[in-house]
Copies of this chain bind each other. A is one copy, B any other.
Amino acid sequence: MTGTVTAWRVLAGCVGVAYPRLMVSNEAERTTLVLALVQMECSEDPDDNLARALEGVEQAARDGARLVCLPELFRSRYFCQREDPAHFALAEPIPGPTTEALSKRAAELGVVIVASIFERRAEGLYHNTAVTFDADGSVAGRYRKMHIPDDPLYYEKFYFAPGDLGFSAPETRCGRIGTLVCWDQWFPEAARLTALSGAELLLYPTAIGWQFDEGSEVDAAQHSAWETIQRGHAIANGIFVAAVNRVGVEGEIRFWGQSFVADPFGRVIARAPADRETTLLVECDLGLIGRTRRDWPFLRDRRIDAYADLAKRFRD
């Protein structure tokens, strides 16, 4: 890993001058992106969380990362465990204090940042939103979580209106980065549409964990299903997929960490531990996307003439 990180630092001086793509290109087919996933614990204090997130970004940039992703709703405890109107006070507009701080830091460090925000769009209208800041601090894209869960301890339908921006993969100086959020992980349609938008990497800010009463066998099966289905998205679409989770115990949930990156073949190339804060620094050889898709040309063979009923709830 160090080889490429070193090569990277040689390029770092160009950042902000000619807006080159923030990657190393050693040969026609090889372009390496150094990605950082900041797996963190989230405390009761939003200011403390923001400060630690910014520190995480800064350290990752110092270590060579050019793209840094934070966990879902990192500014607070995972408040959706209960339906409490008081929690709407945690929301903020975009632009707002969090996006301003992140935009500033992205520009200072010359890195792309993906961050999850509890967005107040209007009085009484809120979203679970991921914002992508380009390396000059500008907003490259915004994604409003499309699939909203509502399960015991995950009462998100109370807080978030379903996203209305659809699926996209904004161009950044690290390439085209697709963002989806947590529950979206379970929907192959979301991954596919984002890949069809040109994404080279799919990032999932996440807040998922175990409940206390389900036993270790169920716990293991849940975690395995979560990682497996996302590896499946990487394989089906021939792209990199990364999930960034929080850690720690909050109320009834033990967040399971284990942030990971899968390559376009679905191989897990890095995985963080379950029980502690970790910044995962991962080299992604973006040349693998083209090579994998040439070997397994699934995009060529999709039967787009026969998929109309995917827009139905059920075929009955």
Contacts and interface: CB of A to CB of B under 8 A. Distances in A.
Given A183-B301, A315-B198, A146 B188 contact: no
Contact of A148 (B162, B266, B301): B301
17 contacts: A147-B301, A148-B301, A149-B301, A151-B295, A151-B296, A186-B235, A187-B301, A188-B236, A189-B303, A189-B307, A193-B306, A196-B309, A196-B315, A229-B231, A229-B236, A299-B313, A304-B313
Interface of A: 146-149, 151, 162, 166-167, 183, 186-190, 192-193, 196-198, 221, 224-225, 228-229, 231-233, 235-236, 265-267, 295-299, 301-316
A278 to B, nearest CB: 24
B310 A193 contact: yes
Contacts of A196: 309-310, 312-315
B224 A267 contact: yes
A225 B189 contact: no
Contacts of A190: 303
Contacts of A162: 303
State the number of copies, please: 2
A76 to B, nearest CB: 23
Contacts of A224: 266-267
Contact of A266 (B167, B183, B229, B311): B229
Contact of A188 (B148, B232, B304): B232
A265 B225 CA distance: 6
Nearest to A152: B295
Nearest to A301: B147
B198 A316 contact: yes
A310 B192 contact: yes
Pick the most buried of A192, A301, A316: most chain B CB atoms within 10 A of its CB.
A301
Nearest to A226: B235
Nearest to A190: B303
A231 B306 CA distance: 23
Contacts of A197: 315
A169 to B, nearest CB: 9
A193 B232 contact: no
A311 B303 CA distance: 8
A193 B298 CA distance: 17
Contacts of A166: 306
Given A229-B232, A233-B232, A312 B304 contact: yes
A194 B301 CA distance: 18
Nearest to A166: B306
A76 B140 CA distance: 55
Given A228-B266, A232-B233, A186 B298 contact: yes
A146 B307 CA distance: 11
